[in-house]
A = this chain, B = another copy of it.
Amino acid sequence: MKKNTPTKSYGQSCSVARALDVFGERWTLLLIRELLTGPKRYTDLKTYLAGINAKLLSDRLKQLEAQGVVEKIDLPSPANATAYALTPAGEALEPAIIALAKWGLQFAAAPARKARSFPHWSVLAMKAMFNPERATNLNISCQFLVESTEIYAVIKSGTFLSGLGRIPAPDVIVTCNEAAFAEFDGSVKTVRNLLDSGKIVIEGSRRDFLKFASCLVLKS
């Protein structure tokens, strides 16, 4: 007989401790981070979690399913596969994960050179960097095409929306490879360099794109 991963609890009534009872184990929050950009299949998760053990991924998914944070869904027509998605309780973790990302951007050590990177992570990163104060009365939509990853980002009078996929009629279309995209941050200097060196190419107003970028700052 097997133990059902009895999820070692902190046994504290504090809401932080109870939250960590659910997703405080290694890999769990990163798994949720992945699902915040949309449902993903087992193998994709294994890829993006970069080195997680297959068994561990299975275990975590089952745990999160049992706790009502993740659910198994059937992908529609073309894929016709099963995938994992967040439940509303899982989606509700976005603010917390963005808060962690903000801290990481400001205070964590710079990523190691050999650190892995995937373009879709910037969906969250941009949300973490967005500064509403810089975006009052600003409306710009961007479509990023980073090798095979499509990312959109929309600034609409102080709010920010981003995700994977395409939007119709974006103001700016940004094309680049993963390496160049990884360098992209809100700094005007960086963006000018990327543009001038041709590492990223835009279709649309350069001025608009710079305005867009200026709303993304490390310090909130």
Contacts and interface: CB of A to CB of B under 8 A. Distances in A.
A75 interface: no
Q: Chain A interface: which size bin?
A: 35 or more
Contacts of A106: 92
Contact of A26 (B18, B24, B69, B118): B24
Contact of A12 (B93, B98, B117): B117
A13 B95 CA distance: 20
Contacts of A16: 29-30, 33, 97, 100-101, 104, 124
Given A96-B103, A128-B15, A29 B20 contact: yes
A contacts with B: majority SS: helix
Contacts of A18: 104, 108-109, 111
A169 interface: no
A103 B19 contact: yes
A142 to B, nearest CB: 20
Contact of A9 (B20, B96, B112): B112
Interface of A: 9-22, 24-26, 29-30, 33, 50-51, 68-69, 89, 92-93, 95-109, 111-112, 114-118, 121, 124-125, 128, 182
